[in-house]
Amino acid sequence: MDTIRMRKVARIYEYGSPQVIQVEDQPVPIPLQGEVLVRMKLASVNFFGYPNAQRRSR
């Protein structure tokens, strides 16, 4: 029996402060033929991305 590998993802469902970021578990995708899966060791949110999360759409 194959086990489903999981990964942590950070999601933002609404505008607001950093407290709206939710860390969730999600299955690791299985690449289809002709696709590749890239392993990431680190990721970050840069200074310029944060104000966009605070803005409301016009």
Query: Is residue 52 predicted with pLDDT exceeding 80?
Result: no
Q: Which domain holds residue 13?
A: 1-28
Give the pLDDT confidence of 2-51 residue by residue, as tens digits.
789 999 998 888 887 778 889 999 999 999 999 999 988 888 776 666 66
Count of domains forming the chain: 1
Radius of gyration of the chain (CA): 15
Query: Is residue 34 domain-resident?
Result: no
- pLDDT value of position 14: 86
pLDDT tens digits, one per residue of 19-32:
888 999 999 999 99
Question: What pLDDT is attached to residue 43?
Answer: 81
- Asked whether residue 10 is domain-assigned, the answer is yes
What is the residue-wise DSSP string for 6-51? EEEEEEE-SSSSGGGEEEEEEEPPPPPTT------S-----TTHHH
Of residues 41, 54, 50, the one with CA closest to residue 14 = 54
Task: Give the whole-angstrom CA distance, residue 31 versus residue 33.
Answer: 7
